[in-house]
Amino acid sequence: MTTMQKLLQLPVNAVNIVKTVQSQVQGQEEDKSPVLTPDNAQQAWYSAVQPDELRHLRSGGSGGGGGGSGGGSEQEERGLQEEGGGGGGIFHTQPLRHDDLKEMLDSNKDALKLEAMKRIVAMIARGKNASDLFPAVVKNVACKNIEVKKLVYVYLVRYAEEQQDLALLSISTFQRGLKDPNQLIRASALRVLSSIRVTIIVPIMMLAIKEAASDMSPYVRKTAAHAIPKLYSLDPEQKDQLIEVIEKLLADKTTLVAGSVVMAFEEVCPERIDLIHKNYRKLCNLLIDVEEWGQVVIINMLTRYARTQFLNPNINESLLEEGGGGDKTFYCSDEDEDEDEEKEKQAEVSALAKRKPYVMDPDHRLLLRNTKPLLQSRNAAVVMAVAQLYFHLAPKAEVGVIAKALVRLLRSHSEVQFVVLQNVATMTIKRRGMFEPYLKSFYIRSTDPTQIKILKLEVLTNLANETNISTILREFQTYIKSMDKDFVAATIQAIGRCATNIGEVRDTCLNGLVQLLSNRDELVVAESVVVIKKLLQMQPEKHSDIIKHMAKLTDNIQVPMARASILWLIGEYCEHVPKIAPDVLRKMAKSFTNEEDIVKLQIINLAAKLYLTNSKQTKLLTQYVLNLAKYDQNYDIRDRARFIRQLIVPTEKSGALSKYAKKLFLALKPAPVLESPFKDRDHFQLGSLSHLLNAKAGGYQELPDWPESAPDPSVRNVEVPEWTKCSSREKRKEKKVEKPFYSDSEGESGPTESADSEPDTGSGSESVSVSVESGSPSDSEESEESSESDEDEEEEEKEKKKKKKEIKQMQASESEQSSEDDRKRDRKIKEQKSNSESESDEDSESESSQSESSDTESEVEVKKKKKVSEPKPPSKPLKKEKKEMSLLDLDDFEPTPSPQVTPVNTFLSNSLVTDLEGLSLSDSVLSPATIAPSSALKNYELLHRITGEGLSVEYCFSRQAFSPDANMVAVQMHFTNNATSDTKNLHIEDVKLQSGMRVKEFAEIELLPAGEATTAVMGVDFCDSTQAANFQLCTHTRKFFVSIQPPVGELMRPVFLTENEFKKEQSQLMGMNEISENLTLDAKCRNEHAIVQRVTTAANLSRVPCGSDKECRFAGKTVTSGSLVLATVATKDEGAAQLTVNCEKMVIGTMLVKDLLLALTQ
């Protein structure tokens, strides 16, 4: 110990203090000081606070206590003892001990101060009062030792409210801290200052927050955002000023600040939705890089925002629900030939605006797109937030993506499961289909806690429908055998609900429940009785045996609710059991006095009903029962008896009512509707506390209803100057320092990528490393600043050049998304310029060809396109691959010199495509051809003009369904008579086919005059093989041997799959059924359109909508056997791509791969 003292070189007075402490605290053990003991092992601060208690305990003489502890220090051992003792504290020596602590705090030795502070913090942790130490503690606020300082802060924040005047002593320290050159010190000073809840310093706080909000360091700005709600809760009158600060911080472009400021927004002014407009797109784009807690807050806020700003994407669906008439006109108009007529019709419809085809706002799409990746977050709260966003905002067809993520959360901690299941239960009521594939994930495990089991049961019940009810019921049977009785009861009720909802199984369920009546467990029986009662009410006539059976149960069953249910049933349906009912009443009358109240009431009911129907047998019994009830202890029962007597027993006094007694008692009662308790809970925002409690919690912001018509979307447009004119050095630097970590890849792989996406993605990976380097914290601020100043100059120069050249370059480089070095980009753009010019031309070509192909679409469809294309022009400038083109567009369309730069619009054109796809997917009316970009059909020669002696025949695969036989491929033949004489009696003969193949000949062409042409369609069933069909083509004079050999791509027809279905099918076609090839895409074929076009030309497949823009998916079915054919083209950097074909028929798969490879590489 002495060496230890030497080491520490304690001043004499310190040792004295120690000694006094010891003498008071530890009696004779003077050689062990509380300060110096911790050399042995961990300090037991927790228990060290109350040595008086310890002594108390020690004198109690408990010996061993914490003997096993490794440290062996006396103090710790006692600490453990104290824990064992339970730690109820009596502070009779408290002032004394606090004096010691004060002395320690007053010493000039940091170690002593630290020791004292630790003890004090431990006291706070235990909830003991340490407020009288305030003056002693607050003196140390400027202590050099960082840990002492931090602990003083902890103390200060805890007690400042109680000791306002003294707390003011510390303020100057923090004010000094706010001016510190180190950002972290500034931040922590602001943090503590704002945490001190003393009203007097409100102006100081306000000033500090305002100053910090424009601090250079984003970390300080983040702290400022955190301070806002603190100040607001202290003094709500500052609201207006705080809103100004919030507005300023909302405009901040760093991920660090975004989450915190939205949190402040939510606490201070959630109603000021207008503040979000200008920042909406930025928030969406930053979202993926914000820290996870901020993500939750932002997503929840944006959900509300979107509800006020966008139109309901499911408006068509709700129209459909509304009524048949309305939607009919809507769809008819799609195919309407006559425009005038259509107009008339539409005029008839009153709410014209409503009927407008829905087009999703690109901003709405942006939100959905940018939140989707967060479903993969490890943080359950983020996943839930995205799920609720999709549930409340996404078109019906897209909501499904959240199911998988939610099911994943079910493997997390039970508390997480609890919350998720509550939300799933609500979702399953509205969108049952979404969770049906995951039915088995909701099966109950014997290890689940009861509350989880019951929620899972709820979900299973909601998911039950005609197709899966048998599996669910089988599961339920197992549950009935469980030992957890609450759960068994819930299961029986669930069976009851399934039975009411699904008519087909009602009888099965009823039988099952009746069997349960013979169960040995009374609870099971009782619960069954209650449920059976409800079921029987739906169709009583059929089930008099069951009622009889239940009547017998009254002898044994004791659970009051069940007895009451049986009695009610017998009374209600007494005419079905005319013999038994009076007998039951007799028995009940006997035991009346011993029954529970609810049973007594039902006995009176039964008696009354029997009296009315069968007064001869039951008159006396009824009177007996009523007399018994008259003297019952319960006044409800006495009242009921009096009431009923007056009603049913006609006396001279009783008035008109008794005439209606029969009507009153034997009225037809409506069958109960067994509803889920989660019905209609979705008017609360999902995932919220209010939803969970099914009651509005304080501070809950209502989820607004969709607006009738969308507010002006232009409010979200951000002025260009704000983006481009970040000439101030500070802003520029921000951009450097806080490059979003991943946003770069986000931006590069934006959905509209097509022609020149490859070089960009190449640089994307580069830029990741760049951002990492620049972002590495080792870079001190100063060095960055210096390096930046150089860069700035360069950039300024360059900008001048750029302005001369192209506006769009600048825009691209200034766009928030791109975290690339400006210089690099410049170089690259220059390089690409030549390429992209030609490529973008192509792009437009392919687009136009697509729109041509969509001529088949209805007028309305085209209109839609036009409507969407109106807001399109401003979007174009941002798209990298359309730079050149857009420049032209700008000149043409934009009178204003400042083009609107909206990073959002990057997604527009693509979202248009997906929107249309989405629409046509949901509208079965539209023909499939509108989606698959049909291309010019390839003609094959069947008979050459020369061999045919003037008759030439070409054929093509028209890709139409061959109506006489669905298993046949339609072959369209085009006959041209080039000869001078007519050709007659064109027909087919002598068909030679491989086994299984069939041919449906075209009708004989009687006459083909010279110089004329005609077409005919024949059907060939190729049996999913590429074997040729050989036959003779006969005219009235000649016979020609011809053969039709189909390319493999024509042996299929498109089918429609959703993305999920596709994935599901694909996962079933693995292994042997999957063929993949790597390829290098043809230079002209590196955009999505080109790929889609080439693939669909080569094979009769249809495009499957796909979330990823790097993948094109196609699906089809072979014509004869209907085996699925799935093709995927996944593009990578530099034109590399992978082609995957999944098909049960390996031969077809292999051949298709060959064909597609050829199509894509040439």
Distance between CA atoms of residues 1062 and 1068, nearest Å: 10
User: Which is closer to other proteins, CB of 242 or CB of 380?
Assistant: 380
Q: How far is the CB of 472 from other proteins (least distance, A)?
A: 11
H/E element, 735: helix 729-737
Choosing from 33, 73, 377, 920, the residue that interacts with other proteins (CB under 8 A) is 377
Choosing from 61, 127, 895, 897, the residue that interacts with other proteins (CB under 8 A) is 127
Distance between CA atoms of residues 1073 and 438, nearest Å: 25
Regarding 624 and contact with other proteins (CB under 8 A), the answer is no
Distance between CA atoms of residues 857 and 193, nearest Å: 65
Regarding 852 and contact with other proteins (CB under 8 A), the answer is no
Task: Mark the segment that binds other proteins (CB under 8 A) among 24-32, 235-243, 505-513, 840-848.
Answer: 505-513
Q: How far is the CB of 246 from other proteins (least distance, A)?
A: 15
Choosing from 27, 64, 87, 236, the residue that interacts with other proteins (CB under 8 A) is 87
Regarding 655 and contact with other proteins (CB under 8 A), the answer is no
Distance between CA atoms of residues 90 and 93, nearest Å: 8
Contacts of 672 (CB under 8 A, 6+ apart): 534, 537
Task: Mark the segment that binds other proteins (CB under 8 A) among 426-434, 602-610, 659-667, 741-749.
Answer: 741-749
Query: In angstroms, how far is the first alpha carbon of the chain from the final one?
Result: 87
Write down the residue that tokens 């802003």 correspond to: 731
Contacts of 787 (CB under 8 A, 6+ apart): none
Residue 663 burial (C-beta neighbours within 10 Å; 0-12, 13-18, 19+): exposed
Q: How far is the CB of 1146 from other proteins (least distance, A)?
A: 18
User: Which is closer to other proteins, CB of 32 or CB of 150?
Assistant: 150
Cβ neighbour number for residue 1064 with a 10 Å cutoff: 12
Task: Mark the segment that binds other proteins (CB under 8 A) among 106-114, 870-878, 994-1002, 1023-1031.
Answer: 106-114
Answer whether 72's CB lies under 8 Å from 42's CB: no
User: Which is closer to other proteins, CB of 405 or CB of 603?
Assistant: 405
Q: How far is the CB of 572 from other proteins (least distance, A)?
A: 26
The interface with other proteins within residues 669-698 (CB under 8 A) comprises 687-690, 692-693, 695, 697-698
Task: Mark the segment that binds other proteins (CB under 8 A) among 24-32, 216-224, 543-551, 1037-1045.
Answer: 216-224
CA distances from 395 to 312, 360, 361, 406, 863 (A): 8, 9, 12, 18, 21
The interface with other proteins within residues 934-993 (CB under 8 A) comprises none
Q: How far is the CB of 1064 from other proteins (least distance, A)?
A: 7
- Of the candidates 43, 8, 41, the residue with the CA atom closest to the CA atom of residue 119: 43
The interface with other proteins within residues 1044-1103 (CB under 8 A) comprises 1064, 1067-1068, 1070
Answer whether 1141's CB lies under 8 Å from 1160's CB: no
Q: How far is the CB of 102 from other proteins (least distance, A)?
A: 19
**Which residues lie across from 754 on neighbouring strands?**
none
Phi then psi for residue 1128, to 5 deg, are: -130, 130
Choosing from 25, 301, 385, 601, the residue that interacts with other proteins (CB under 8 A) is 385
Distance between CA atoms of residues 208 and 227, nearest Å: 10
Choosing from 93, 173, 441, 1014, the residue that interacts with other proteins (CB under 8 A) is 441
Choosing from 13, 16, 924, 1108, the residue that interacts with other proteins (CB under 8 A) is 1108
Regarding 291 and contact with other proteins (CB under 8 A), the answer is yes
Q: How far is the CB of 502 from other proteins (least distance, A)?
A: 13
Q: How far is the CB of 382 from other proteins (least distance, A)?
A: 8
H/E element, 590: helix 580-591
* CA dihedral over 43, 46, 50, 54, signed as positive or negative: negative
User: Which is closer to other proteins, CB of 41 or CB of 319?
Assistant: 41
Q: How far is the CB of 391 from other proteins (least distance, A)?
A: 14
Task: Mark the segment that binds other proteins (CB under 8 A) among 163-171, 329-337, 770-778, 1001-1009.
Answer: 770-778
Task: Mark the segment that binds other proteins (CB under 8 A) among 108-116, 242-250, 327-335, 343-351.
Answer: 108-116
- Of the candidates 435, 421, 510, the residue with the CA atom closest to the CA atom of residue 465: 435
User: Which is closer to other proteins, CB of 285 or CB of 858?
Assistant: 285
Phi then psi for residue 1115, to 5 deg, are: -140, 145
Regarding 1132 and contact with other proteins (CB under 8 A), the answer is yes
Binding residues with other proteins: total (CB under 8 A): 149
User: Which is closer to other proteins, CB of 76 or CB of 361?
Assistant: 76
User: Which is closer to other proteins, CB of 342 or CB of 746?
Assistant: 746
Distance between CA atoms of residues 46 and 120, nearest Å: 10
Do the strands 951-961 and 983-992 form a parallel or antiparallel pair, or are they unpaired?
unpaired
Choosing from 94, 379, 1032, 1161, the residue that interacts with other proteins (CB under 8 A) is 379
User: Which is closer to other proteins, CB of 255 or CB of 832?
Assistant: 255
Choosing from 447, 594, 709, 1162, the residue that interacts with other proteins (CB under 8 A) is 447
User: Which is closer to other proteins, CB of 495 or CB of 1051?
Assistant: 495
Choosing from 57, 101, 105, 122, the residue that interacts with other proteins (CB under 8 A) is 122
Site string for other proteins, 451-490 (x = CB under 8 A): x---------------------xxx-xx-xxxx-------
Distance between CA atoms of residues 298 and 1078, nearest Å: 41
The interface with other proteins within residues 744-763 (CB under 8 A) comprises 745-746, 749
Choosing from 260, 500, 809, 832, the residue that interacts with other proteins (CB under 8 A) is 260
The rounded Cα 174 to chain-centroid distance in angstroms is 43
Regarding 59 and contact with other proteins (CB under 8 A), the answer is no
Answer whether 556's CB lies under 8 Å from 582's CB: no
The interface with other proteins within residues 7-46 (CB under 8 A) comprises 7-8, 38-39, 41-46
HSE at residue 172, side-chain half, CA atoms within 13 A, is 5
* Range 299-302, long-range pairs (CB < 8 A, 24+ positions): 299/371, 299/374, 299/382, 299/385, 299/386, 299/389, 300/266, 300/385, 300/388, 300/389, 300/685, 300/687, 300/688, 301/262, 301/265, 301/266, 301/270, 301/276, 302/276, 302/367, 302/371, 302/389
Choosing from 1, 96, 125, 715, the residue that interacts with other proteins (CB under 8 A) is 125
Cβ neighbour number for residue 176 with a 10 Å cutoff: 12
The interface with other proteins within residues 390-429 (CB under 8 A) comprises 404-405, 407-408, 411, 413-416, 418-420
Q: Residue 983 is encoded by which pair of tokens?
A: 């050709």
Cβ neighbour number for residue 623 with a 10 Å cutoff: 14
Regarding 90 and contact with other proteins (CB under 8 A), the answer is no
Q: How far is the CB of 370 from other proteins (least distance, A)?
A: 11
Write down the residue that tokens 């000791």 correspond to: 163
Q: How far is the CB of 821 from other proteins (least distance, A)?
A: 15
Q: How far is the CB of 1116 from other proteins (least distance, A)?
A: 21
CA dihedral 260, 261, 262, 264 (to 10 degrees): 90
The interface with other proteins within residues 176-205 (CB under 8 A) comprises 182-185, 191, 194-195, 197
The interface with other proteins within residues 153-172 (CB under 8 A) comprises 153-154, 158, 161
Regarding 446 and contact with other proteins (CB under 8 A), the answer is yes
